[in-house]
Structure 1
Amino acid sequence: MNDVQNSTTPRAARVGDPIRVPRTAARIGIARRDITPPVGIRAKNWGPADWERSEGAHRPFTLTALAVIASDDRPRMLLAVDGTWWRRVADEQGVRGAILDGLGLDAEQLILSLSHTHAGAVLCAADAHLPGGELIPGYLEALAAAGIEAGREALDAAKPGLIEWTTGRCTLAANRELDLDGRALVGYNPAASADDTVTIGRVSIDGAVTATLVNYACHPTTLAWQSREVSPDYVGAMREIVEQATDAPCLFVQGASGELAPREQYTGDVAVADRHGRSLGHAVMAALDSLPVPGAELTLDSVVESGAPLAIWAAQAAEGGAVASESMTSVELPLRDLPTLDELAEEWRDIDPRSRDERLGRARNLRDGYITGPTVQHPVWAWRLGDAVIVGHPGEAYSRLQTRLRTRFPETPIVVMNLTNGPGFVYLPTREAYQRGAYQAWQTPLAAGALELLEEHVIAVVSELVEQRPL
């Protein structure tokens, strides 16, 4: 911790004082590939859907690589991918493993983060026998190839640059835990609050913006079973707003959004998704426009006597942000008493067959690879990049994970990513969600208390990273 973090009494301002802009100083490269799923691929992600093959694309899907080579000369690669979720461990390991081999990276050097759109291709090779499923294995191979190509290009193009960190506010995300007549529903709860923080990294080289990293927690569930086109959901229009304004790629990574989603959702109207994306895009631009020019921070420069004594703040060159380190760990999480598949089929016998088959398929896939014993070893990746920390894990944690981290480390920009490097449908709900019988609590194999164990583990990991001094 630095002196500012430990101080309880702010000192008086002095000429020469800066308003610190947290930063990452490194060699940085950006590259992108189009990964729009082919027409006809299996895209049945909702139980009520009476169709299985996509019939087009609302907006392009992208894979964007951010290569960061900091003062330790060790490459770190973030791949921001428009995608649904991994339904099997084997598929995620196959894609990420191929990218690791293709780029010659160790496991701790790569973070692959899915946006979690619910209107994308099914990422499950085990569904190859179903309508549209014959296209899935080829699409997974194409994803891996795109990751390798973009990763190589980003590494080869890396030049000295900066990532400057800031936050904004966006009210798109709302609490989605509604109780109606004693039943726990998944939908907007107007009586509850939601985390509205947007964490933003502005990437620049030689003073020119080359990319924007956006981290926001909100389920991309605007579009549901009524739409037969694949779509990045609100992320697509958000990206368009930011990229048109900055003339540079925008990377989106999904935050800890287990209980967060748009108020208006479950529709087939793509105009609603675009409206949601514009709201987030304008929030991002408002935050970016509040920053000084790349490479600078505001400094109290002088006092000018006018009708009033005027404090003059001017942009001056800043330094620092070169330290880098990484951590790849796991935390042991408890499992619920899991019913057998036959017991689940009996429990769900009265719901419509399409929805029952969807639920049973997810339960079957989850037991294949993630659950290997009486507890689960849940992996966590963490990077310190200068003044910021990036944390990723493969589950769907509630937003308490990120709000606790920000409270614990108020001076450190922290990017928190769900759906990273592993199966993406393992919820980590609060204890209260278990008590009210929330969908996330009865769907997950994890027992109550798993979220709290993950939080304590991540806090310890981040503590160790931020206490390291600059090189």
Structure 2
Amino acid sequence: MRAGVGRADITPPIGIPAGGWGNQLHEISEGNDLELWATVLVVEGADGARAAIADVDLCILDDEQAERARSVIAEAADVPSDSVAVGTTHNHSVPVTLELGGAWIRRNRGLVAPYVESVFDAIARAAAEAAERLQPVRVGTARGSSPLAVNRRMTTADGKASVGLNPDGVSDPTLTVVRLDGGDDRPVATIVHYACHPIILGRDNTFVTPEYPGIVKRVVESAHGGHCLFMQGACGDVGPSELFVAELETYRRLGGMLGHEAAGVAHRAGWRAHRQRVRQGEESAWIASFEYEPDGEPDATVAVAAETAPLPLRDDLGDRRVWREQAQRWEEEAYAARGANAPEGEIRELTVRTKFARMRAERGDALDGLDAYPLLVHGIRLGPVALVGVPVELFSELGTTIRDSSPFATTLVCSYWNGYRNYLPTDAERERGGYETDISPFRPGSDAIATTAAGRVLEALR
């Protein structure tokens, strides 16, 4: 197998609209804490088949934007577009990249479109660089765990589901590391996979940051060299153990914690391994003598498989035109409240109403005339490793269901791959209600449809 990695800076201009939270008071960023990156891995199998995986330090790329990103990578790296996967870390402290994120923001909106164009240019540069740097690699993997991830669907005093901390709920502590080692047995690329919303920073943070995934990548690269990609897992109902803070030091600290855990796991993920056995007849007092048999060359297969699974849509999503009218009214009221120096709580509430109404209107526009959403289930095989991703926010239980039934010993289940269309909860959690299930457009039974399709894609990769 051969692999190459390229990276480009996608840090935005200071003052760009930043709308990661519906209840924030600021509209634009006040600075950039660290660079944002677009990192592209290109792989080539022994038979010449190529695939590419992109890791982008943004919150969301919608279906159209993701398709364009796949296209520019395909052209720049000479990879079939169907063999390209584009994932975002789902970081909430980043610039607005689509209407869904900055629906209520009026200041500096002229910066958004040029910035988004610059992101596509950067992704193309990273892909071209990756293709130029192809070199022989071998793949190794290892697993560890981290306590950072905690279920976030807590129950309030009045019995409602709310986004917060629920330590007793479902989450997955698994931390998986994949290394693609060059001829010197040092990583050309390291892939870190973990499932946790990057929402350590909350509504009062005014800086653009790469959140904890950005720190993870920096720590791993410092420890091992090469380039690190972060693949976000099934984190629809999972957040960090400390969340919604304003202090930048907190995300750096927690990102460092996960990064050092990942770097430790990476020490065990090299492709070289061996079996040892006692040499018969050579035992001396108290000390055994061993002989070693090195492993053979690892699998060099690169393969791609995909399936479109129709997820049936709810019939109670409301009229998108009504949602848009309500959003416009609440936006006007919010800005009038700002101008009148109204209490912060009043402004926040009106802003929340505006953003959620815009989200519902956008959802209606995107799904207008459809009975089912065509969920793209996309898989890439890197020798002994399978990655399978979907353009939704999978709940944790769905991710572990897919992984644990996979025919591959190492399977990375990724959310936010190749687009975005809200949350995909389990049917059991749907009954509890709450933000994630309210914004989800899918009917009961969609969870089983998605997991079954992912199983078929993994079988096809095998």
Unaligned runs of 5+ in 1: 1-25, 467-471
Q: Secondary structure at the match of 1:367?
A: helix
Change (3 A) 1:147 1:266: same
Match of 2:55 among 69, 80, 86: 80
Hey, what's the Cα distance between the residues in 2 that align with 1:313 and 1:196? 36
Q: Which residue of 1 aligns with 2:237?
A: 259
Query: 1:311 Cα shift?
Result: 6.9
Q: Which residue of 2 aligns with 1:195?
A: 172
Query: 1:115 Cα shift?
Result: 0.5
1:363 aligns with 2:352: no
Hey, what's the Cα distance between the residues in 1 that align with 2:26 and 2:194? 31
Unaligned runs of 5+ in 2: 331-345
1:420 aligns with 2:417: yes
RMSD over equivalenced CA pairs, Å: 2.4
Q: Secondary structure at the match of 1:352?
A: helix
Q: Which residue of 1 aligns with 2:141?
A: 165
Hey, what's the Cα distance between the residues in 1 that align with 2:71 and 2:381? 23
Q: Which residue of 2 aligns with 1:4?
A: none
Q: Which residue of 2 aligns with 1:438?
A: 434
Q: Which residue of 1 aligns with 2:320?
A: 341
Hey, what's the Cα distance between the residues in 1 that align with 2:456 and 2:363? 28
Residue pair 1:91, 1:125 contacting (<8 A) in 2 also: no
Bigger drift between 364-373 and 61-70 goes to: 364-373
Match of 1:452 among 448, 453, 460: 448
Match of 1:205 among 182, 196, 205: 182
Hey, what's the Cα distance between the residues in 1 that align with 2:456 and 2:73? 29
Bigger drift between 274-283 and 111-120 goes to: 274-283
Query: 1:310 Cα shift?
Result: 3.5
Residue pair 2:3, 2:188 contacting (<8 A) in 1 also: no
Question: How many residue pairs align between the two structures?
Answer: 437
Residue pair 1:91, 1:123 contacting (<8 A) in 2 also: no
Q: Secondary structure at the match of 1:63?
A: strand
Q: Which residue of 2 aligns with 1:217?
A: 195
% same residue: 28
Q: Superposition pairs for residues 125-274 of structure 1, below 5 Å?
A: 130-181=106-157, 182-206=159-183, 207-274=185-252
Query: 1:369 Cα shift?
Result: 3.3
Residue pair 2:149, 2:195 contacting (<8 A) in 1 also: yes
Residue pair 2:76, 2:124 contacting (<8 A) in 1 also: yes
Q: Which residue of 2 aligns with 1:23?
A: none
Query: 1:209 Cα shift?
Result: 2.0
Query: 1:342 Cα shift?
Result: 5.8
Hey, what's the Cα distance between the residues in 2 that align with 1:75 and 1:191? 43
Query: 1:284 Cα shift?
Result: 0.8
Query: 1:229 Cα shift?
Result: 0.5
Residue pair 1:83, 1:115 contacting (<8 A) in 2 also: yes
Bigger drift between 303-312 and 213-222 goes to: 303-312
One-letter amino acid matched to 2:254: H
Hey, what's the Cα distance between the residues in 1 that align with 2:29 and 2:52? 31
Hey, what's the Cα distance between the residues in 2 that align with 1:295 and 1:162? 6
The TM-score normalised by the length of structure 1 is 0.87
One-letter amino acid matched to 1:453: I
Task: For residues 114-173 of structure 1, give each alpha carbon's deviation from its aligned partner in whole angstroms, at most 9, with x where no partner exists.
Answer: 000010111116869832321111111111111111111111110111221111111100
Q: Which has the higher helix share?
A: 2
Hey, what's the Cα distance between the residues in 2 that align with 1:230 and 1:67? 28
Residue pair 1:322, 1:386 contacting (<8 A) in 2 also: yes
Match of 2:458 among 457, 462, 466: 462
Q: Secondary structure at the match of 1:66?
A: strand
Change (3 A) 1:66 1:258: same
Q: Which residue of 1 aligns with 2:336?
A: none
Change (3 A) 1:145 1:339: same
One-letter amino acid matched to 2:356: R
Query: 1:273 Cα shift?
Result: 0.6
Hey, what's the Cα distance between the residues in 1 that align with 2:153 and 2:176? 24
